[in-house]
Structure formats: C-alpha cells, structure tokens
Amino acid sequence: MPRKIEYPLIALNFKVYLEAIGEKAVELARIAEEVSREYGICVMVAPPQIDLARVVQEVEIPIFAQHVDPYKPGSHTGAVIAEDVKAAGALGSIVNHSEHRLKLADIRMVLERLRENELMSLLCTDIVETTKAAALGPDILAIEPPELIGTGIPVSKAKPEVVTGAVEAVKKINPAVHVLCGAGISAGDDVAKAIELGTEGVLLASAYVKAKDPKAVLSEMAEAALKSWEKRGD
C-alpha cells in the first residue's frame, strides 16, 4: 500500500485517548491498514506524537502528526517542529485543530514550515474562517463546526447547507485544495452524506478510536465512502 494520499479519504485522528496510547496506537493503525487494503480506499491515521515514529514503522498507510509548532530548529523546549515530523517518517500534519488552535500568523508559518520540508498539511477550520483558510493554500481543508465535535451529531446531516456552501467557497478561492468534512462523523451514512455534499472524505476521531469494534466501524465507513464516490463519478 503506497504511503500517499488519495481520494476519497478517511482521516483518523487518534488524539490522546487512552484507547490509542502506545501499543494500542499501533493496533488501531494496523486495523486501519487492513481496511484500507480490503476496500482499496485511502485511510490516514494521526497517532499521538510520542507514538508517531513507531506507528510509521509498523504500517504503510499515510501517517500524519497531530500538530506542528511554527518554529524552526532551535531553543524551543517541548516544541514539535516540521523537521522532526519528517524525520519520524510522517507524510504531513494536522494544523489548527479545534483542540489546538493557532493564531493566523502562526498557521501561515506552520504551512510554510511544512512546505519547506515537503510535508502535507491538513488544515482544520470552522465555517466562519473557511475562505481565509482556503486562501492560505493548505493541501487539505477539514471543515469542522466546533460545537459538533465529539457530539455524534454529524455536520453533514445537522448543517448540510453549511458543507455545500463551504465546498463551493473553497473551490472558488483555491480549486487545488481538497475538502474534508469533520465533526460528529460516526457512521457510514455520515460519510456517504459528506461525500454526497461535495467533500472528498471525512476526518473523525472518537467514533473509531473508542469503538468496541473499530474494524467494523471503519469497514462500514469505507464501503459507504466508495459507494457515494462512485455515484458522484469522480
């Protein structure tokens, strides 16, 4: 399985849930790899930072860091820099997740630092900041209304007009940016709806990481994503 991003994409953020620490991060990544191979769909995982290098060694699917700081190498104790993410073997990083917000100037710097190191960016944004975020030119933009994150209420169903509007706005500003839908994605129907509304995949966390049967959950999502993608004819 090539370590590259393709679409439709299912992006899995492990955050730092107890279910995704250490060996459990590897187990979840292996399950994601199995589903990716079985369904022929791209699945990306973002394990906890400390487990990043190990997960990269254990699987061949795309791996992202969960965060990068806007610094160059130097005296920044505890910082996560792009060079270290690259050295770990990751393909890129999530940027500006709602649980780790950055100032606009810092977002610009992080994107620049990732580009300098030939790393991809998955920039998270709420609806209000969608156009500004698209103008920054990230590789991938994940639309996530903060109030729906972790609620199990998918934005693709709760606010479908928001998703379609955001996709249209992004494509007008920068057609090269790939758009994902996040917040509350928890079932195959949510994934199918997100793609139906014009996105190229989804970003989720707890629905996979905390599931009693992660493989069953991800398999359902993968099947739904492929069917919806085929109907679109992309």
List 67, 97, 178, 200, catalytic entry? 97
97 is catalytic: yes
Cα separation of 40 and 132, whole Å? Answer: 34
Give CA 208 to chain center in angstroms: 13
3-state secondary structure the chain: CCCCCCCCEEEEECCCCHHHCCHHHHHHHHHHHHHHHHHCCEEEEECCHHHHHHHHHHCCCCEEECCCCCCCCCCCCCCCCHHHHHHCCCCEEEECCCCCCCCHHHHHHHHHHHHHCCCEEEEEECCCCHHHHHHCCCCEEEECCHHHCCCCCCHHHHCHHHHHHHHHHHHHHCCCCEEEEECCCCCHHHHHHHHHCCCCEEEECHHHHCCCCHHHHHHHHHHHHHHHHHHHCC
Q: How far is CA 209 from CA 40, 48, 136, 194, 204, in A?
A: 21, 12, 30, 20, 9
Which sequence positions are flagged as catalytic? 97, 144
